[in-house]
Amino acid sequence: MADSAVSSDVPEPLFRFGVVTDVQYADIADGTSFGGTPRFYRNSLLNLRCAALSRLDATVSRPCHREVVADWRTRSGLVCALHLGDILDSFCPREESVDALRRVITTFDGLQQPVYHTLGNHCLANLPRPVLNAALGISGDGAGSSYYTAVLHPGFRLVMLDCFDLSVLGWPPGHPHHEAAVALLASNNPNANKNSPETLEGLQRRFVAFGGGVSDAQLAWLDATLTQADAAGERVFVCGHLPCHPEAAASVCLMWNYSEVLDILHAHPCVVATFAGHTHREGYHKDERGIHHRVLAAVLECPPGTNAYAHVDVWHDGAHLHGSGSVGSTPMPFRVLAAV
């Protein structure tokens, strides 16, 4: 893989794919996060693609700064896109949620290529898991969980994790995954408000109710899927809403059982990179096994005239994430397949 995407010596990539996260659309006035960061709920959909939105709603019409889907469509060899969770915001009025989801999906449809989604905490706070799975084309495990795999290109595989397989979100009380999450929070977070990390220190701050984890069944599936990919000589991109490496994101944003996931990733030389959202901030770490862990900034917090998304060029020996707007660019040379 060449080091610079602008060099005339760089060969054409085998394929490309788009990446964006945390659209968190809602047809409501702008607001702020709990920490006071401005959030632009309507503009997030405009940023995805103005042209598609104006066809949906003639009352909304103004220019955008480099619309995501329109830009991706100019990239030859782009085979798909990834949206890494939180497609709607939890402040979206419940009676408007299905229509709001339709608007975002219709906008993504403008890409005219597959879009692979994962569920985030805002998704699950807004709509039932079965509704989200059906609308986003997530086949899952057949029992309601939302993890799956797909071939991006011959020799390259996507693994999309369900980071809220263990969660108090998305499962009804009494469901084993809900009850396991309640028990985890009770034993790790003494606060009355389980959404608060206050009083928690270091990596324990990840045990909050808006977080989640991966079930034992999903861990077994991940291990088996990566074993098959190793045998096939594939390269694998592992994605999910929650980051899985503590050097790539603030501890409050980490997957609950990130270390168990990392142990599996490290055991399989096919894994070359992970992508995540949730933090609304940029993050990157290349770990001791050569896996690149990349966390992307959120579309939601881009003021009008700015944006946050990327496309990834992929070669046999590496990839390069080309960021746009508040997303920076990252070269990602692959580790040698035989290394463990």
Quick: pLDDT tens for 112-129: 999 999 999 999 999 999
CA atoms within 13 A on the CB side of 80: 14
Residue from 162, 161, 166 nearest 271 by CA: 161
In the prediction, which pLDDT does 132 show? 97
In the prediction, which pLDDT does 58 show? 38
Residue from 228, 266, 227, 267 nearest 245 by CA: 266
- CATH code of the region 15-333: 3.60.21.10
For the chain, the structural domain boundaries read 15-333
Quick: pLDDT tens for 272-330: 999 999 999 999 999 999 999 999 999 999 998 899 999 999 999 999 999 999 999 99
In the prediction, which pLDDT does 173 show? 96
What's the token pair of residue 48?
């995805």
Q: Rounded distance, CA 280 to CA 198, Å?
A: 20
Taking the alpha carbons of 116, 122, 124, 127 in that order, is the dihedral positive or negative?
A: negative
Residue from 299, 238, 303, 239 nearest 267 by CA: 238
